[in-house]
Every structure is written in structure tokens, then in C-alpha cells.
Chain A
Amino acid sequence: MDNTFLSVKDLEVIYTSGKKIVRAVNGVSFSLQRGETLALVGETGAGKTSIAKAIMRILPNPPGKIVGGVVELEGENLLEKSEAEMLEIRGERIAMIFQDPMTALNPLMTVGDQIVEGLRLHNDLTFAEAKKRAEEMLEQVGIPAVRFVEYPFEFSGGMRQRVVIAMALACNPDLLLADEPTTALDVTIQAQVLNLIKSLRQKYGTSMILISHDLGVVAQTCDSVAIVYAGQIMEYGTKRHVFKNPCHPYTRGLFNSLPSMNSDSDRLKPIEGTLPDPTNLPDGCPFHPRCPRATQECKIGVIEPVKVEPGHICRCIHAGAEKSVEDSKRIHSGEV
């Protein structure tokens, strides 16, 4: 076996809402080496957070349910663990940083006590020992230890996110799930928080799955990238593969939608249309209604991932074989 640390295979998550079924995650597979950072990139409702919550087994059930797949952490399938076993794993081996630091903290507990709580749950520590460790963690994330006794409302947004990071890293987890850790923060604070996560990860050798919609943040933090759309990974590869040679029309569309910091083009090139209704995903490729290169074959069956180059996978039948734009125009206008 290679030294795969986390492996997710054919993960499927659904949410039931009345009689409707929302297919949030549809057969997602990826793997992660020790110390590696993988980015899950996608727009609202793409299923990124559902993937992370499924790995942690913290999907609210009902309505959420894992209906298929395997999540292996060092060879053990987490989906077969009992809740009691998961309690051991959560916080100690896998920790999560939530998007919104305002709601991720308990407003009625001092931040110090919240860090101590997790520490004592997983380690055989006295309060004094745990407090010492919690104070060290606060200092590590740049918060003076004297603020141990303060409540979340006494901290600013950036500071609260640091507290959440301190809490997540206190038990020295092997895997960190960071769900949009900087989306709620201003850019200068974002830069501080990203640097902090980076240096702490290097120190402890933590692997990380970073969920983000910000391609800039991804470019500066991750090793490999998975582009998620409608619960499927559309493109997956190293950062260099995806950023230098984006193959999927959706990935290209995302890059083209960004206002450039260097060019002077007057108009942006948005992806036309809107995200598909998750209760009623189109057949075939879920992106085909918005895709400039869609052909008849895209509208039927299951589109299988294609290997574009070693380690670079793209779920598009047109990847690799470059077809001219004229072709797809003719097809759209019904000439073919």
C-alpha cells in the first residue's frame, strides 16, 4: 500500500426535504497523503461542506444521510464506526474549523474553558494541566494567555477565528477540515489567519482539507485541488495541473469569471445560467445546461472521469480531445 492517509471512495449524501430528495454528494472519491493539503473548490450548494461533514460523521440526520461510499482513515472505514468510537476520533484525530467563528463558539463559556473541554475529553489531564496547554495554544495563535477567561463576545471576528483554530489544533489532530476558514474575515486578517494555519500545520505535520470558493486562497495554500459541482468532482489534480492546465469547461468558466488584477478587459466572461436545482439534477453531466461545449452525448448516462495526464482527472467527455468552439455552436443551434 502507498501511504494514503485518508481515502474517500464513491461517497454519496442525500438530504430529504418533504418528498423531495436533494442529492448533495454524488460519488465523490479522492485521497490524501499525510501532510498534504487538498482544496475542495466550488460554489454555494456544490456539496463541499456535506463532504466534510460526512467525513466527520456530523451530518444532521435527518435530513442528511450518507447512502453510499467508504471513508477510510489509515485503512479504517469511518462510516462503519459506532458513535462512541467516532467521539474518540472527532477532535483528537480529525478536527474541523467552521466557517463562521461567531456561531462556532459557545457564547456562555469562556474561550479558555472551551479549549480545555476538548482537551480533557481526549486526554487524561487535570484541569490545571489542560489549562496550561490551552494557554499555550492561545499564545500560539497570537492571543495573550490572560484572555483565557474572556467570553467570545469580547473578541473580534479575526480573534474568534483564531480561538476556533486553537481549539481545533489543541489535540494535535492528524486531519484538519477547514470549512471556509477565512470567508468571514477581511483580507488583511485573512492573510494573518492563513499564515497561522500554514505555520501550525508545518509544525505538527497535519493534513488538511480546505473548503473554499476563493481561487486565490487555494492557489496560495494547497497542494492539490478538487473542483466540485453539483455534488461531483469535475476536475481533480495537483494545484499545478488545475491552475495551469484547467481541462473542465466549468473550471475554465470559474477562472474566466474572475476580474483580473492585471488585464484591462472591459467585460467579464461569466458562466451563463445558474446552478442546477439539486432536487432535480439534469441527466448526464450536471454542467451541460451551462456548458459552451455541450453535445448530445453530454446529456445522457453517467459521465466517467477521464485521465488527462498522470494524477490529473477530468469528468468531461470533451477533455483531451479538443473540439473547436464552432462545433459546439453548430450543435447548440441544432445543425447537427
Chain B
Amino acid sequence: MAPLIEVKNLKKFFKVPAGTLYAVDNVSFTINKGETVGVVGESGCGKSTLGRTIIRLLDATDGQILLEGDDITHVTGKKLKAVREKMQIIFQDPYSSLNPRQRIITTVKEPLARSGRFPRSVINEETERLMDMVGIDARLRQSYPHELDGGRRQRVGIARALALNPQFVVCDEPVSSLDVSIQAQVLNLLMDLQEQMGVAYMFVTHDLSVVRHISDSICVMYLGQIVEKSPAKELFSMPLHPYTKALLSAIPSTNIDEVMQQVELKGELTSPINPKPGCRFAPRCPYAREECEQPQELQEIAPDHFAACWRVKEIG
């Protein structure tokens, strides 16, 4: 059976005054039904652009996006509308992603009405069911977004995304702007809904503990490229790529007896505009050699565990 989403050599470049910005460069991966794939990386690594390109909010520069085996990279018109009912997005910022002049119930109702598939009575019933599902009290349903706290607003965003029973949802940092106690509530909700509806998530975040918790497998991105791809738990027990190692070692541990063994990275993200060929992490990499100027391909080091670094076996 074809996977739910298959991304093949996807590229998304932006023309900027200084040249070409390689936001997503040759990314390939698959997402199966009901599965969660986490995408982690630092700001500017292209993880949000990747999510938005896959669900066709942005047009790919090159490569292919397959939904259940059908190429949707360039579909338009009615076909695109049908595709969009199957693929949705939950945005990072529940403050700016809801219409401030619309009652939240209208926001949740809108996708149902727009689909043109349901009579009005069903729409109203379904809206109430969605609100129940994400845990918004009946007394709050006529509120405007500014009357709700961040956690509830994000629940509205989730209800809207799941309204048409999509098969695939891009979660673009859905809990990053929430406090930890609220963050846990929303993560639990997302996981419960996945169990009930069998929806697949692409979970984009910079928070490694969150991504470990929610994902089945994880892609680590650096400057537009996937540098490591692994089953979720294994990424943390056996990180392979030097960047992943540095990233994991930089998370401050809440265990006060644990002395942090930091791989401190020199410098900052280099520019994604007109990058040099070869490994993009090399300028900051403690293991860099001359050979790193050659382009790096993902290679399978362990079952389902890929890394794009030619020295990976050596540095173990």
C-alpha cells in the first residue's frame, strides 16, 4: 500500500535580492496513515516551509508530493480543493491565526460550510461536536478569540483543522507559545484525537522533548536539508549526525545531578542564501574535514536510521 504522504526530492527556493534562498533542498521522506513524523531544527532551517509546501500553501520549486500515491505537486482548481480537505494545518501562534472579528464558533463552522457537503442542520450539529471534542465549554463558544487564553485558542485552531476529518495535519509548533502546564493538555489532546480519528501528523517543532514524546519517527533538519532520520526513541539513545549530537547535548537537563556534557557549537547558522555545495553543517562541525566539501547523501546506518555524514561510522 502506498504511504499516506510521500515527499520526493522536494525543493523550495525563494528569490531574494542577494540570490537564491535554499529553504528546502532535496528533502525526501514518507508518512504512513495514523503516524506522527516529527521535524526538528533551529529557526530558519526550513521546517515550516517544508510543512507549508507539502500541504500546497506554497508551490514547490522542484520535486514531488504524493498523497496516497497521487501526485498533488501541481494540482489546481477543484482537485486542489479536494486535496485541501484531506490536508490541514495547525499554526504556531493561536493569537494571529484566528480571525479576531469572528466568534470562535463561526471559525470552526467555516470549513464545514465551505466544503458544501452538508446541510445547515448537520453543520451546526457537527460544529458542536467538534467543540466538545477539543474541550471548549458551551458557555465559551460564542466568544471572540481575545476573550480566550492561549490554550483554548489553540483548541479552536485544532477544531478548525480537524473539522473535515483530514487524513494529514501539519502541526507547525502548535505548543511553542503555550505554558508548560497548558502545553501538556494540548499535547494529550492531539494524541487522543489521533487515536480516535487515525489522522497522521507532521509535527514541526524546535522542542526536542516534545518531539520525542509525540513522534513515531523524527527528521532533523539543518539549513534546508534532512541530516538525520530515525525512529523517535532511537534518535535520542543513538544520535549519529554531529549536528544531532550537538543539538541533544545543548538541551539543559532538569536533573540537577547530571553534569551537562556539551558539544558547544562554534558560531551560528550560516546563511541559506547561495550555500556552498557539500555539508552545510561543516563550518560549525567539530569533525569537519576537507571531504565535507562534497555533497552528503543520507545513508542507512541502522534499520530505518539514516544520517547524512560520511564520517558517521568513524565518530560513532
- What residues make up the interface of A, taking CB atoms closer than 8 Å to B? 43-44, 156-159, 186-192, 194-195, 213-217, 219-221, 239-240, 243-244, 253-261, 264, 266-272, 274-275
Residues of B within 8 A of A192 (CB): 264-265
Q: Determine whether the beta carbon of A187 is less than 8 Å from that of B42.
A: yes
- What would be 11 A-B contacts, judged by CB atoms less than 8 Å apart? A43-B181, A44-B150, A255-B254, A256-B184, A258-B180, A259-B212, A261-B208, A261-B253, A268-B188, A268-B213, A270-B184
A316 to chain B, nearest CB (A): 17
Q: Determine whether the beta carbon of B184 is less than 8 Å from that of A269.
A: yes
Complex: A270 Cα to B191 Cα, angstroms: 13
The 8 A CB mask of B239-277 against A (1 = contact, 0 = none) is 000000011011111111000101011001100000000
Q: Which residue of A lies closest to B211 (CB)?
A: A259
Is residue B206 within 8 Å, beta carbon to beta carbon, of the partner chain? yes
With A186-B206, A217-B252, A268-B188 already in contact, 11 other A-B pairs whose C-beta atoms are closer than 8 Å: A44-B179, A156-B268, A157-B43, A159-B268, A192-B264, A194-B252, A215-B254, A220-B260, A240-B256, A258-B180, A272-B185
Residues of B within 8 A of A221 (CB): 252
Residues of B within 8 A of A187 (CB): 42, 206, 208, 247, 250-251
Interface of A is mostly: helix
Supposing A159-B268, A195-B264, A264-B233 touch, asked if A257 and B208 sit within 8 A by C-beta, the answer is: no
Q: Which residue of B lies closest to A187 (CB)?
A: B250
Q: Determine whether the beta carbon of B250 is less than 8 Å from that of A190.
A: yes
Which of A157, A189, A268 makes the CB contact (< 8 A) with B187?
A268
Q: Determine whether the beta carbon of A257 is less than 8 Å from that of B42.
A: no
Is residue B80 within 8 Å, beta carbon to beta carbon, of the partner chain? no
**Which one of B152, B181, B212, B265 has the highest number of Cβ atoms from chain A below 10 Å of its Cβ?**
B181
A240 to chain B, nearest CB (A): 7
Q: Which residue of B lies closest to A268 (CB)?
A: B184
Q: Determine whether the beta carbon of A188 is less than 8 Å from that of B265.
A: yes
Interface size on B, residues (CB 8 A): 41
Q: Which residue of A lies closest to B253 (CB)?
A: A216
Is residue B210 within 8 Å, beta carbon to beta carbon, of the partner chain? yes
Complex: A157 Cα to B42 Cα, angstroms: 12
Residues of B within 8 A of A259 (CB): 184, 187, 209-210, 212-214
Which of A157, A191, A240, A253 makes the CB contact (< 8 A) with B181?
A253
**Which one of B179, B208, B262 has the highest number of Cβ atoms from chain A below 10 Å of its Cβ?**
B179
Number of A-B contacts (CB under 8 A): 117
Q: Which residue of B lies closest to A215 (CB)?
A: B254
Supposing A216-B254, A219-B256 touch, asked if A158 and B184 sit within 8 A by C-beta, the answer is: no
A271 to chain B, nearest CB (A): 4
Q: Which residue of B lies closest to A253 (CB)?
A: B181
**Which one of A188, A217, A264 has the highest number of Cβ atoms from chain B below 10 Å of its Cβ?**
A188
B135 to chain A, nearest CB (A): 11
Interface of B is mostly: helix
**Which one of A159, A191, A217 has the highest number of Cβ atoms from chain B below 10 Å of its Cβ?**
A191
- What residues make up the interface of B, taking CB atoms closer than 8 Å to A? 42-43, 149-152, 179-185, 187-188, 191, 206, 208-210, 212-214, 233, 236, 246-247, 249-256, 260, 262, 264-265, 268-269
**Which one of B150, B151, B268 has the highest number of Cβ atoms from chain A below 10 Å of its Cβ?**
B268
Supposing A220-B252, A260-B209 touch, asked if A188 and B42 sit within 8 A by C-beta, the answer is: yes
Residues of B within 8 A of A275 (CB): 149, 179
Which of B179, B191, B269 makes the CB contact (< 8 A) with A266?
B191
Q: Which residue of A lies closest to B209 (CB)?
A: A259
Complex: A267 Cα to B264 Cα, angstroms: 32
Complex: A257 Cα to B253 Cα, angstroms: 15
Q: Determine whether the beta carbon of A219 is less than 8 Å from that of B255.
A: yes
A12 to chain B, nearest CB (A): 24
Q: Determine whether the beta carbon of A214 is less than 8 Å from that of B252.
A: yes
Supposing A43-B181, A188-B247 touch, asked if A261 and B236 sit within 8 A by C-beta, the answer is: yes
Complex: A266 Cα to B188 Cα, angstroms: 9
Complex: A141 Cα to B149 Cα, angstroms: 38
Residues of A within 8 A of B180 (CB): 43, 213, 215, 254, 257-258
A182 to chain B, nearest CB (A): 9
B190 to chain A, nearest CB (A): 11
Residues of A within 8 A of B255 (CB): 219, 243
Complex: A270 Cα to B182 Cα, angstroms: 7
Complex: A268 Cα to B192 Cα, angstroms: 11
Complex: A215 Cα to B42 Cα, angstroms: 20
Q: Which residue of B lies closest to A186 (CB)?
A: B42
Residues of B within 8 A of A256 (CB): 184
Complex: A226 Cα to B43 Cα, angstroms: 31
Residues of B within 8 A of A272 (CB): 185
B270 to chain A, nearest CB (A): 11
Residues of A within 8 A of B150 (CB): 44
